[in-house]
Amino acid sequence: MSLGPLLPGRIPNSLIYTRAQRTLSNNARTLQNLQDQISTGKQFQSIGEDPAAAVKTFALQQTLERKDQVKLNVEVNRSLLASSEDSLGKIGDVFNQTKSFILAGIGNSVSGAEKRQMATEVGTLIQKVVNLGNTNFRGRYLFGGSNNNAIPFNIAENNDAIQFTGDLTDIKSFDSLDGLLVNNVNAGATLKPFANVQGSDLDPLLTATTRIQDLFGGKGVGLGSIEVVVDTGGGAQTETIDLTSANTIQDIITRIEEPFAGDLTVSVGTDGLNFTPSAGTVAINDLTNSTVAANLGINSTAAGSITGFDLNPALSLYTNLADLNNGSGIGATTGNGLLVQNGIQSKTIDLDGLTTVEDLFNAFKIADLDLETGFTEDGSGLLISSRLSGVAFTIGENGGSNATNLGIRTLSATTPLAEINLGKGVPVDGVLELDITRRDDTDISISLTGAKTIQDVLDKINAFDAGNLVASLNSTGNGITLSDNSGTGALTIKENGITNALKIAGTVDGNADIVGTDVDAAATTTLLSDLNGGAGVPVGAADLIITRRDGSVETISLAAATTVDDVLTAVNAVDPGNLVLTLDTSSQGFVLNDNSGTGALTVTDNVVSSALGINQSEDGVNDLVGTDPNPQRAGGVIDLLFRLRDALNAGDSAELETIDKALNAELEEFNFARGSVAGRLKSLDDTANSLADEDILIQESLSEVFDTDFTVAITELANLQVTIQATQQITAQTLQLNLFNFL
């Protein structure tokens, strides 16, 4: 018996046709899907075919796309760091060459001419490091930080130095779906292009305008609601106060005082907030699971008043200069200011009229000295940085105490002796002493054993002959000033390791001179009538009146004088060898010296003294003024090369030995930074391998839900083709039946 469709009795042909057509249509669709799967290699062409698989596919495809971007990032990062490492390797070679020059230059094994030739070669090494620092790869200057579109290292216009115009920003990119990696080399860790003055803690006063975000050294404090209870005797008033939106201390004060209508006063204390009820007690509590009051240092049980603890506001651009140093400010600014020297550039920064830290920073910017301004890492002090490698950078006083009070004077009383002279220190604990020949011609020796700071040195000197032998910091610039009132002779500090380190070795003559102005006195034979462009000197109109250093007054008549020599003779005859008037032919003016004492020397102002150009006053004896022993330098390889060049030109073996030690320390830090780059490269290699493995796993997962299984699809296609053929045959046979087939 042949196989045919199962036909119920009495079914109309139309229904049979419809059912057969539907079956064939479904089979055709299935056939088309299988053909599409085989031709495209994908299990479905639209979401509706398999929504669950489509969702999984989209998620896997998105992951792949993100991974592809990460892989691209990794490759870019690897290339950037590899190029940076190549430059660092070449800079490392410069370190080795520098070492050989140092070793060759120490001592007398080579001549001065050969050392000068080596200095020239060091100059080429400086340019080589600069060129390496300006390496450009993939359109980026590798050592420029975020400012990587311009050359970071340039020859300074106003100094024999190299100027850094980049920054020290770390540039990061994703090296995983949720991880960042620094893909540049920080110039601060490798080339050290900044000379930094790290300011001391300026302890700004807490004020009503202090921002909440500036509290606790700039960390800020999270705010919320607190409970305040005030009992003035008529029953406790309890308020829950929301401080969430407060931006300043004044906002906190206003929100807390407002609901108590005068019964509670909140004020700014020295360090924190103070709470005083009009009568009775006040209590401040934290709400459940809150620490706002505790964080503000104001939580307390009921008390007659509450004094909050130190909120330690950080410096900001908006901090008033008058609020620094716990409200004592920075001292008088009129006529004072800062004396700043960066290489051969030196300027006085006028602080008069400045109000805020931002005003101060703007004043530094206007000075145009290749400086950067900012704050120390902990936010407590100022950070002033020079962008120049190869020169010294100092900040000193200009007659006042502004630099000291701003915490940025490069030589202050608190400066450790170990930091003096670029870290060489001062040999105070050996056999050397401070040897001084005083103005009364006595020789003294002062031991500085145990001294740790500049203030210790000053204290030991000042204790020797209190009030007469006085050491202090220079009133202008930096250095140590020594004053001696023991006599009128020369003051000498003998040269040795200590005095050289402190930069105070030398001799200064006795009393200072009154140095007159130019009056056209070309020679001792010059007629007085020819002085002052022919205006002459009215010698008969008044006497020359001199108040000497011992307080005595000399009245000298010049009525008979006709030449410059006559004036000199008349004055020098008063007290030969002690009151001395000379002619300085280079300046064409007179010079008056008096050794009678240590007081002021004054020439009374009248028509005669004015015509002679000596109507002046001089306070007293000359002080021995030392130079700055603590200049700041960048300290990186470029700066060390400049120091090496100068030391070779000068044949300074001691400086070469110092540079050798500094170079060894710098090379150690340089290699550490270079190792960090190598570590990042290794991490990227590992990441690339990991990404490749992950890519395979994701592709496998994606293939399972999206790719066609050709074996299954082809088998199903073949089976379906047979099914369709059978269905068509059976349907055809069925539709050909008529009544005679059943008779």
pLDDT at 4: 47
Cross-strand bridge partners of residue 621 = 511
Domain shared by 524 and 486, yes or no: no
* Lowest mean pLDDT segment, chosen from 32-41, 179-188, 318-327: 32-41
pLDDT at 411: 95
Confirm if 417 and 428 have CB atoms less than 8 A apart: yes
Is position 527 within any domain? yes
Is position 114 within any domain? yes
Is position 241 within any domain? yes
Reported as a single tens digit per residue, the pLDDT across 378-402 is 889 999 999 999 999 999 999 999 9
pLDDT at 213: 92
pLDDT at 87: 93
Answer yes or no: is pLDDT of 82 > 70: yes
Domain of residue 648, CATH code: 1.20.1330.10
Average pLDDT over residues 461-472: 95
Domain of residue 279, CATH code: 2.60.40
Domain shared by 449 and 571, yes or no: no
- The Cα angle at residue 708 between residues 705 and 713, in degrees rounded to 5: 125
Answer yes or no: is pLDDT of 22 > 70: yes
Domain shared by 342 and 383, yes or no: yes
pLDDT at 2: 42
Average pLDDT over residues 526-535: 93
Answer yes or no: is pLDDT of 561 > 90: yes
**Exposure string (b/e) for 169-192, b if CB count within 10 Å is 16 or more?**
eebebebbeeeebbbbbbbbbbbb
Residue 701: CB atoms within 10 A of its CB come to 16
Helix (H, G, I), strand (E, B) or coil at 467: coil
Is position 722 within any domain? no
pLDDT band for 601, please (50, 70, 90 cuts): very high
Q: Which of 311, 351, 129, 112 is nearest to 223 (CA)?
A: 311
Owner of token pair 């090496």: 644
Domain shared by 259 and 172, yes or no: no
Reported as a single tens digit per residue, the pLDDT across 500-519 is 999 999 998 877 889 999 99
Is position 486 within any domain? yes
Is position 272 within any domain? yes
* Lowest mean pLDDT segment, chosen from 195-204, 450-459, 706-715: 706-715
More confidently predicted of 375 and 721: 375
Domain shared by 541 and 464, yes or no: no
Cross-strand bridge partners of residue 546 = 554, 603
Q: What is the token pair recorded at 282?
A: 């006040």
Owner of token pair 């150690």: 668
Domain shared by 70 and 167, yes or no: yes
Q: Give the residue from 390, 410, 430 where a domain finishes.
A: 410
- Strand locations in 521-606, DSSP E? 544-547, 553-556, 579-584, 589-594, 601-603
pLDDT at 741: 55
Query: In the sheet where 281-286 sits, what is the strand order?
Result: 236-242, 225-231, 281-286, 300-303
* Lowest mean pLDDT segment, chosen from 79-83, 122-126, 293-297, 447-451: 79-83
Q: Give the residue from 307, 330, 361 where a domain finishes.
A: 307
More confidently predicted of 416 and 110: 416
pLDDT band for 253, please (50, 70, 90 cuts): very high
Provide the number of structural domains found in the chain: 5
Domain shared by 497 and 526, yes or no: no
- Predicted TM-score (pTM) above 0.85: no
pLDDT at 321: 96
Reported as a single tens digit per residue, the pLDDT across 26-60 is 777 777 676 666 766 666 666 666 677 666 766 76
Answer yes or no: is pLDDT of 101 > 70: yes
Domain shared by 285 and 394, yes or no: no
pLDDT at 288: 92
Q: How far apart are CA 81 and CA 73, in angstroms?
A: 12
Answer yes or no: is pLDDT of 703 > 70: no
Is position 87 within any domain? yes
pLDDT at 409: 97
* Lowest mean pLDDT segment, chosen from 4-13, 64-73, 388-397, 705-714: 4-13
Confirm if 636 and 644 have CB atoms less than 8 A apart: no
Is position 558 within any domain? yes
Reported as a single tens digit per residue, the pLDDT across 124-175 is 999 999 999 999 998 899 999 998 899 999 999 889 999 999 999 988 887 7
CA atoms within 13 A on the CB side of 320: 13
In one letter, which amino acid is 661? K
pLDDT at 257: 95
Domain extent at residue 379: 321-410
Domain shared by 441 and 404, yes or no: no
DSSP 384-449: EEE-EESS-EEEEEESSSHHHHTT--SS-TT-BGGGHHHHT---TTSS--EEEE-TTS-EEEE--T
pLDDT at 1: 36
Through-space distance between the first and last CA atoms of the chain, rounded to whole angstroms: 17
Q: Give the residue from 357, 380, 410 where a domain finishes.
A: 410
pLDDT at 672: 93
Domain shared by 521 and 599, yes or no: yes
pLDDT above 70 as % of the chain: 89
Domain shared by 403 and 463, yes or no: no
pLDDT band for 119, please (50, 70, 90 cuts): very high
pLDDT above 90 as % of the chain: 67
Answer yes or no: is pLDDT of 261 > 60: yes
pLDDT at 485: 87
Which residue intervals of 583-634 are DSSP H helices?
607-612
Answer yes or no: is pLDDT of 743 > 60: no
Domain shared by 597 and 575, yes or no: yes
Helix (H, G, I), strand (E, B) or coil at 731: helix
